[in-house]
Amino acid sequence: MKKLFTLLFILAPAIAFSQQDVPKYEFRGTWMATVINLDWPQSGGIPVRFQKEDLINKLNKLDEIGINIVFFQIRTEGDALYDSPIEPWSKYLTGEEGKAPNPYWDPLEFAIEEAHKRGMELHAWLNPYRAMRTIPSDFTQKALPGNATEEDVDESLKPFLQKEYEKGKRKQFDTSQRDEKHVSNTHPEWLFVMNDNIAIMNPGLPEVIDYNVQIVMDVVNRYDVDGIHFDDYFYPYPPNHMASNNNESLDDSTFIKYPRGFTDKDDWRRNNIDIFVEALYDSMQVVKPWVKFGISPFGIWKNGTPSGISGMDAYELIYGDGIAWLHDRTIDYITPQLYWGINRFGPYGQDYKALANWWADSAAANERHMYPGHGLYRSDSNTYSGDLFAVNEIPKQVRINRENPKIQGSVFFREKNLTGFSSKGFADSLRNNFYKYDALQPIMDWKSMAKPETPENLVVNRDPETEYIFNISWSPSSIDQIAKSNASSHTDTLVKYAVYRVDSGTAPDETEEMTKYYNLIEVTGDTTFTDVTPPSENGYWYFVTAASRNNVESDPTPAKEGGIVVSTEEESELVKEFELSQNYPNPFNPTTVISFRLAESGFTTLKVYDMLGREVSTLLNENMTSGTHDVSFNGSNLSSGIYIYQLGSKGNTITRRMTLIK
């Protein structure tokens, strides 16, 4: 992650950094939704090169602000935004269901590779039961109501089923608008049509459970995903929920045929989901136990739990029992969707803090992780039409998380609210405050704790032209080379690297310095890193560790000295003849004035660079007369951060820093 230097070096104490402890291990995630092209791609069918560029741009922005986990949606409604041998290509990718990308590419494979380059985890996000978001007006349901064919049902049930059929529970539709590989054509008898609006696969059918396990395990087997993620879409939400008048009897015949000892249909429905979750988790442990499995249920488990909480709940209405998954340890983490404010006494009876702490206690009691889902979309009028969150609402929620050691991170809904919409102000808060320092993802004690090999051949070179830039490199481990040559390997070989920088006049104790979050400056999948440093009177030392998939670090390399970086604010002997003043105002938004003085006329340049040394603007490139000059700079097209401006004339140069805050 090519981090910009934050305001601490220039503005302290004018803008103080929060003194709250910053975790060195923290889950910093976001959902990237592809359904109806919410986040990516911009639309189905746009040229592949633009889809790739857009995805890379999004990952770069997320990396820059400190996100280290992406939930990448690859299955929205029985389709695939990856090369599936079972289900059709998604219309949200190519514009037409079943149509392969041209030229061919596999977005999941591409996203994994790009995420790993940046030290990020990529969790494949799938919807297991949703088959159709909207129903074509001429869709044909090719089965009796209750999803049982004539051959499947007992003679005594046929009168009941026929009666339900005649009551109009099933309209006559046609699936010709869906690809021939879509489940509505391959297994229409599996589908429930809910209030003639949406269709889901019947969770009570054993063959549906097997099918969905097959879908997910195909992804696990063929792709180097770090995790599998489900949201809360099992049984549908109101108004299409099972308890509505039109839907209550849809699964009667399935319940009668496969009761599994249950007499209460609601308990049976919950158990349908539990069986699927357990079957999938067990399968993953056999094949690739390092792949993490998590679910983000609706934020209220049961009405009245914890005390004072009220509202729709997952347990009674959509049959998602997150506590059962935790108790059975059939998930690795839970991400309840806590999309409410810190408002215990408000009109809705929901309170972020009470719910977050209750879920955290529940997860910790079962030795699992909890990363709350934050409703960042509620901070943005582009994505929410109700009462918007206050500017400080989500920051306060992140602080609540960090106050509780049983909460290991945060997940933000959704990606575009971090990179594209007006709630981008929160992205600046992450970059400059909460996620100012890099972090490894949390270690799961129940997974492999094996240490990787220590990297070798660490080299630290100062940039020959710019003294505050250091180029760092090391040799890839043999295990890393194996990983990159065989992504579908059933032996986990993937590692990433943690780069540390220590400000010290003497060689540091590497093991001790590894424990300090502020020394971790980069987590990367590459074996090179360019560090742009602030001034240091002591000098800098660098060392590197390798981190396993479970973020267990190797022993560190011996530290290599980088050297002292002299402050660019120090004026040279030339100041009386050749002077560059501090821009005013500083910080600025979006314009500022840069003043300088020339003792002699001559060809003069005034350029602006970002902290990676890339030129972002040329303000002057011409002959200038002697005397004092003012130049205006407009940074409206730049993101918040620290920039370098450099004056050059008659073979002399002076460099200063300025800070843009939006």
Domains and CATH numbers, the chain: 27-434 (3.20.20.80), 456-565 (2.60.40.10), 573-660 (2.60.40.2550)
pLDDT of the residue at 385 = 87
Q: Which of 295, 297, 362 is nearest to 332 (CA)?
A: 295
Q: 227: which strand partners?
A: 123, 292
pLDDT of the residue at 250 = 92
10-residue block means of pLDDT along the chain (662 residues)?
A: 36 36 94 96 94 94 95 98 98 96 98 97 97 70 39 42 40 62 96 86 98 98 98 90 86 96 97 98 97 97 92 93 98 97 71 97 98 95 88 95 98 95 86 92 97 95 82 81 57 93 95 96 94 86 97 96 71 58 86 88 88 81 85 86 88 86 78
At 32, phi and psi to the nearest 5?
Answer: -115, 100
Q: How many residues does the chain have?
A: 662
Eight-state DSSP code of residue 379: G
pLDDT of the residue at 3 = 42
pLDDT of the residue at 176 = 54
Q: 603: which strand partners?
A: 623
pLDDT of the residue at 161 = 41
Q: Which tokens sit at 639?
A: 């993101």
CB 79 within 8 A of CB 178: no
pLDDT of the residue at 246 = 78
Kindly list the strands in the beta sheet with 191-194, ordered across the sheet, starting from the edge strand earlier in the chain. Answer: 130-132, 198-201, 191-194
613 Rama class: left (phi>0) / alpha (psi -120 to 50) / beta: left
